[in-house]
Amino acid sequence: MSEYNEAKETLEILHEISQILNTGLDKSTLSILVSLCENGVNPEALAAVVKELKREAAALKAGSGKS
């Protein structure tokens, strides 16, 4: 239970940091990204991927909105 609380607390801290840095990440995305980093994924590669995904998702949304 204490480990769970610790993890929750850490995630809270990271979420607040991400909000101050204005990353635009919500908690669930953040937890996925943290897990990927913990799994050994390079943060720079991951950041590039996330930016690209967000861009594409926005484009998709805009495309569907127009149609």
Give me the residues that bind another protein (CB under 8 A), please: 10, 12-14, 16-25, 28-29, 32-54, 56-57, 60
Q: Minimum distance from CB of 59 to another protein (Å)?
A: 10
Least CB distance from residue 2 to another protein, whole Å?
11
Q: Which is nearer to another protein, 28 or 67 (CB)?
A: 28
CB of 1 to another protein, least distance (A): 12
Spatial CA neighbour of 12 closest among 29, 27, 32: 27
Task: Please enumerate in sequence order all residues whose Cβ is within 8 A of that of 14, keeping only pairs 6 or more positions apart, or say none.
Answer: 30, 34
Any idea which residue has 């050994």 for tokens? 40
Other beta carbons within 10 Å of 33: 20
